[in-house]
Amino acid sequence: MLRYEGLEVYRVDLTLRAPVGTSAGTHLERPVALVRVLSDAGDGWGECGALAGGTAVDPSLDGVWPTLVDVVPARLGRAAASRGGEVPPAGVVAHLFDTTAPNRLAAAAVEMAVLDLELRAAGRSLADYLGIGAAAPPDRAPPDGVPAGAMVGIPADRSVDTLLAAVEGWVTRGFGRVRVKVAPGWDVVPMTAIRQAFPDLRLQADGNGAYRVGDADRLAALDALDLGCLEQPLPHADLPGHAALADRLDTPIGLDESLTTVRAVTDAVKYGACEVACLKPARLGGLLAARRAVDRCREAGVSAFVGGLFETGLARTANAVLSGVPGMDLPGDLSDPADYLVANPAPYPGAAGGRVVLPGVPGVGSTPDLLTLSQLGATVERFGRDG
């Protein structure tokens, strides 16, 4: 039995190494919330995926913060009390919250922390928990790691030369897949330039919902480029439009923002709106929900990969492990946080040669460094033990 002793919620404001442009705006900073669940047998850490700015799908970290500090402590405390003081199992954490966006993002962080605690107490790694590793069946992650993909934003100067230099940097480092942000007026020309420069590169375009069904003829020009997918071209709620584009274009249609729950994944696949799935555990409500979503995709023959939210090494390590499960058959967004964060408070295995070797240590595989958090000016809300 793991006896519940309290909760800590940290906030640290991190800086991106360079602005990242998308059709929906430019990312300039990365505030991060970390959750630490305390028990008599040790602690577990989780990370919230909310970004600095909110979208139609995901609230900002400021929008999730009240849930993290007002709702989470009370619900976790009540759940522990109903179990005689025991930490509620990771598998039931999601049931403590509804499926609204702030609750999903908060639940994902708490679930990760509880799962981290359980695995550390049991001496098991997340890879072992998910059945991944050198001793796993051959369709699981190989011992030399999982393939890593990279992401390139829209250059601030809208220069094709700047874009090509960024892509070349990833290719030189061994990354076999590059996901490129596109927008109306910044799509066919830059993507064609990349394809001409790197004819063998696995290439994806990501529209972040900036297009409409009426743009189908323009988007059809991308068919000549042999893209892995055109990701989220239309707004998140437009499943019929995505299904129509899937019929119209040769390029596979991928979804990202539309996939907010396991049910949403199931529906998108059922209606022919999703041929490639970008799965983000934080948005789906946690690692366990993401695992179920992978199964849905696998059963339907839909390719899937882990999407990134500029995580610290904590959540990105968990995402790397998730990339090794059957059904995650495309490289995920697994570049090193050191590539986009000026400072990273949690270690990451790295992506040498375009692959990430999965950690075999107990727990999720990464623990935030308290000294680094302090040096970065992190603040903390305490509930229980020392609170």
One of 181, 291, 296, 355 is an active-site residue; which one? 181
- What's the pTM value of the predicted model, to 2 decimals? 0.95
Question: Per-residue pLDDT tens for 108-160?
Answer: 999 999 999 999 999 999 999 998 854 344 444 455 789 999 999 999 999 99
- Domain span including residue 277: 128-356
Active-site residue flag, 270: no
Question: Per-residue pLDDT tens for 63-92?
Answer: 999 999 999 999 999 999 999 999 999 999
Task: At 345, list the tokens.
Answer: 């408070």
Question: Per-residue pLDDT tens for 197-221?
Answer: 999 999 999 999 999 999 999 999 9
Longest alpha-carbon distance in the chain: 64
- Clarify whether residues 165 and 45 are in a common domain: no
- Clarify whether residues 25 and 157 are in a common domain: no
Question: Per-residue pLDDT tens for 296-351?
Answer: 999 999 999 999 999 999 999 999 999 999 999 999 999 999 999 999 999 999 88
Q: How many domains does the chain have?
A: 2
Q: Report if residue 150 sits inside a domain.
A: yes
Q: Report if residue 362 sits inside a domain.
A: no
- Clarify whether residues 175 and 114 are in a common domain: no
Q: Report if residue 194 sits inside a domain.
A: yes
Active-site residue flag, 280: yes
One of 75, 120, 280, 316 is an active-site residue; which one? 280
